[in-house]
Amino acid sequence: MRIGTGYDVHKLVEGRKLILGGVEVPHTLGLLGHSDADVLLHAIMDAILGAAGLGDIGKHFPDTDEAYRGISSMKLLEHVGALLADHGYVVGNIDATVIAQQPKLRPYISRMEENVASVLGISVDQVNIKATTEEHLGFTGREEGISSQAVCLLESFYESSVAVADSANRCSSCQGCSKEF
């Protein structure tokens, strides 16, 4: 079992869409960034990559690479999910918080959770997203930016497998070891 944390922040500006958790949220301002600047997905990806010991999103998707200019962070999350599978990990759960004074995010959270779960191939009940304000304090309270924090628990394929065994067939659901019971 492994745990990772993620944090991201982007500045609010005019002329950009506000994308959070792969959902376009109606607002007069959007987040500035090289990609779609989805601060929520960026924090989630950093938590996942950290738990797997695979660095961070800057390592995998540098903002100096034009291939990532304007890219949907949902596509980046899909790539991170594939990296997990390649390294033998599955998501146990994700818990994330978006910190924004405005807009109110409650109406969009279910879709955000569904998006994350769908792309990672996990159940919606393994993803929990919350939103909070900072009571008009700090840069988020002054509506200068939005930040997000995330925590992710990972398990290896072996840890997450459920084996039903008998003495003749070993673990019928596990291909990876030669344990006999």
For residue 95, is it within any domain?
Answer: yes
Residue 12's CATH number: 3.30.1330.50
Query: Length of the chain, please?
Result: 181
Residue 163 has what pLDDT?
A: 43
Residue 156 has what pLDDT?
A: 87
Q: Is 36 annotated as a binding residue?
A: no
For residue 175, is it within any domain?
Answer: no
Q: Is 57 annotated as a binding residue?
A: yes
Q: Is 79 annotated as a binding residue?
A: no
pLDDT above 90: residue 26: yes
Nearest to residue 179, comparing CAs of 80, 171, 118? 171
Residue 161 has what pLDDT?
A: 57
Condensed to tens digits (0 to 9), the pLDDT of residues 44-81 reads 999 999 999 999 999 999 889 898 888 999 999 999 99
For residue 119, is it within any domain?
Answer: yes
Structural element, H or E, at residue 40: helix 39-52
How would residue 147 be classed by pLDDT, with cut points 50, 70 and 90?
A: very high
Q: Is 142 annotated as a binding residue?
A: yes
For residue 35, is it within any domain?
Answer: yes
pLDDT above 80: residue 127: yes
Structural domain total, the chain? 1
For residue 32, is it within any domain?
Answer: yes
Residue 83 has what pLDDT?
A: 95
Q: What percent of the chain has pLDDT over 90?
A: 81
pLDDT above 70: residue 153: yes
- Cβ-contact 180, 167 below 8 angstroms: yes
For residue 177, is it within any domain?
Answer: no
For the chain, give the mean pLDDT.
89
Q: Is 56 annotated as a binding residue?
A: yes
Residue 62 has what pLDDT?
A: 87
For residue 148, is it within any domain?
Answer: yes
135-154: burial string, b at 16+ Cβ within 10 Å, e else: eeeebbeebebbbbbbbbbb
Q: Is 34 annotated as a binding residue?
A: yes
Q: Is 151 annotated as a binding residue?
A: no
For residue 142, is it within any domain?
Answer: yes
Domain hosting residue 145, numbered range: 2-159
